[in-house]
Structure 1
Amino acid sequence: MTRTAVVIRHVAFEDLGILGPLLTEQGYRVRYLDAGVDPIGDGAFGDADLLVVLGGPVGVGDIGRYPYLADEAAAVAAWTGRGLPTLGICLGAQLIAYALGADVVPTGRFEIGYAPLTLTPEGDASVLAGLGDTPVLHWHGDQFAIPDGATRLAETPGFPNQAFAVGDTVLGLQFHLEADHTQIERWLLGHTHELTAHGVDLDRVRTDARRHGGRLTTRARAVLTDWLHRALPAAEPAEA
């Protein structure tokens, strides 16, 4: 059985990363929608089985300058309102939170680089437990509130809301489990102005990607596979 995952992408280099091959292995056909290029409104997701909303350099507060974000949030609200499986990463998680009625605001702080999470007691009982103490990739300055009816799963010292879940079908992650550490240079190039503005040490990000990337990839694949199996019964692996 083949299922379809629709993926909203905001910038080309922030793609599915390690999640792409995993979805293929789990029997999903992937269809990208590029925000600001492809129409994202009623019917844009068709009869997809899964929606993934990826990250990007804009935020919910930029809706006035990038009106397509409002259409995107409305489409996400309609989709989640039907109880359908949804994974949001960074901006994607913020858009899901906004679509569910929670506030999303700039903090005036930033968090860029590899660092561990602290799981809440609910997080320890969730799919995120598989991460253990492995540092994950952070790349954000905005923060979402936890939507009504959602469960807070993780935090860091500067950002108390790092992940939330709504039942088994909606998972919002402020951090990047999908990022392929072997492609980190694309991120460093694509976000060069932001990195320069915040004085981020690029060599430290590179070093940490090499140090933590392999273990994080293994654990992230396990976490995401577990979530997929909870959100939807596992699809049969695709034929070779």
Structure 2
Amino acid sequence: MQIHCLQHAAFETPGLLLEWAAAHGHEWSFTHLYAPEPSFPALQDFDWLVVLGGVMGVDEENRYGWLAPEKAFIRAAMKAGKMVLGICLGAQLLADALGARVYRNPALEIGFWAIQPAPEAATHPLLRHFTEAITVLHWHGDTFGLPAGAVPIASSQACAHQGFVVDNRIVGLQFHPELTAEILGEMLHHDGHELVPGPWVQTATELRQRAAELAAGKAFLFGLLDQLAQRGAAY
């Protein structure tokens, strides 16, 4: 299987997604949107699309010239029936492409906080492994409304919508299950200025000390990817 990745920052890589893909013999290609004149592949050249996070907002097209073409590419991939996974900004871009509103979350949410599964998650074929609250890493100021027909995945105390599934093949996750301790360190180095004190913002020291808790996000992510792969194989 060929996975294509839309990457918005050099240091914010697919992380644990690469580990899962390598274990299953899948290959990767990339559009590095931070590079000069990024280009997008033909739809027939990949099976899955992964859209990663980034500091930009979905409406900053005047600041980021590649944002409008990226949105068009995401819409085309979804229309073509691709498996699509969006994380953080990626989830917001999917929600926007599906006609939902992206807006400022009531509170900045950065740190290791619990997410509760939505009632619908317990019986969803992609989420049967997600039966109880888990602590995952968050790093976002914006959030999204649920697209029409979407199944909600989870919520946290600070953010009502932590994920959604559409058509059993399009998944948006507001939190970061893909991060490794190394990527977290890079985010602290490059984006540490975003750690403005607040009720749902942990310090850099706390984040580093709790890096072992990334394991819960990894387990959730790998379970989700396994289910997506089984569904893709059945097409």
Same fold by TM-score greater than 0.5: yes
Please name the residue that 2:207 is paired with: 205
Q: What secondary structure, in the 3-state scheme, does the structure 1 residue paired with 2:46 have?
A: coil
Alignment of 1:158-197 (within 5 A): 158-196=158-196
Task: Output the CA distance in 2 between the equivalents of 1:84 and 1:219.
Answer: 21
* Secondary structure at the counterpart of residue 195 of structure 2: helix
Change (3 A) 1:144 1:47: same
User: 1:112-155: per-residue Cα shift (whole Å, max 9, x none)?
Assistant: 01111111111222334424322111110101111112211211
- How do 1:6-45 and structure 2 match up within 5 A? 6-37=4-35, 38-40=37-39, 43-45=41-43
Aligned to 2:129: 130
CA displacement at 1:218 relative to structure 2: 3.4
Distance 1:125 1:50 in 2: 24
For 1:197 and 1:156, the matched residues in 2 are separated by 19
Unaligned runs of 5+ in 2: none
How many Å apart are 1:197 and its aligned residue? 7.1
Give the alignment's Cα RMSD to 1 decimal. Answer: 2.1
Number of paired residues? 229
Partner amino acid, structure 1, of 2:5: V
Deviation at 1:196, TM superposition (A): 5.0
Contact persistence 1:61–1:105 (CA under 8 A)? no
Distance 1:60 1:150 in 2: 19
Normalising by the residue count of structure 2, what TM-score does the alignment of the two structures yield?
0.89
For structure 1, the 5+ residue unaligned runs are 235-240
Q: CA deviation at 1:200?
A: 4.0
TM superposition score normalised by structure 1: 0.87
On the 8 A contact 1:40/1:75 being kept in 2, the answer is no
Distance 1:75 1:135 in 2: 33
Equivalent position amino acid for 1:170 in 2:
I
Mean alpha-carbon deviation: is it higher for 107-116 or for 162-171? 107-116
2:12/2:183 contact within 8 Å kept = no
1:215 and 1:97, CA in 2 relative to 1: closer, same or farther beyond 3 A? closer
Matching residue of 2:229? 228
**Kept after mapping to 1: 8 A contact 2:116/2:134:** no
Shift of the 59–167 alpha-carbon distance from structure 1 to 2, 3 Å rule, reads same
Q: Distance in 2 between matches of 1:201 and 1:78?
A: 40
8 Å contact kept, 2:178–2:217: no
On the 8 A contact 1:119/1:129 being kept in 2, the answer is no
Identity %: 34
